[in-house]
A and B are shown apart, each in its own frame.
Chain A
């Protein structure tokens, strides 16, 4: 059962406009959420993260929003640039606890973003 879902396989936007990538999760115990960007033939690179105690985190053109009641997070890229064209993965981490050695990171399926010049 997929605990982290990205329901849109692809998204296309015009340069300069806003890109909104969405992610849904099912496990209310997740305590950190992260976004990664991946170019072809490269490993994913960390983009931005948010703690479950916050609802927004901003880093330059990238903002992540977290709606815990809806178990939904989104990544906003403003303004979008052609170099942002890549696959974006959201991921969620389970907290480390005494009852389990978890702390693993669970990824969604990814959304391919294309930013057109």
Chain B
């Protein structure tokens, strides 16, 4: 089944404790992206990648890191999480920038 898999689905952590949210796609897609969803703000792009080793900042990159060492994986790293990073995170992949993205099921992160 073609899908984007992100883990974990739910995570509660404390301020400053490094964490990684994994994302993997099995569709051989070039484009991958991370979004966060917050009430009243919709989906805001954090980082995106157009291919292996090619990444670029989205609209809200502060406090996040990404890497694209393999085509299928695009982990999101929070080096020192803060409470304002409490949000619902989505990973997505696409064949091309103007194709519809396939989204993962989301990761609900709470930073206390």
Contact = CB atoms under 8 A, between A and B. Distances in A.
A93 B56 contact: no
Contacts of A47: 100
Contacts of B66: none
**Main secondary structure on B side of the interface with A:** strand
Contacts of B90: 43-44
A70 to B, nearest CB: 21
Interface string A37-59: 00001111111010100000000
Contact of A105 (B41, B56, B97, B105): B97
Interface residues of B, number: 28
Interface in A14-63: 31-32, 34, 36, 41-47, 49, 51
Interface of A: 6, 9, 31-32, 34, 36, 41-47, 49, 51, 89, 91, 93, 95-96, 101-110
Interface of B: 4, 31, 33, 35, 40-45, 48, 50, 54, 56, 58-59, 90, 92, 97-106
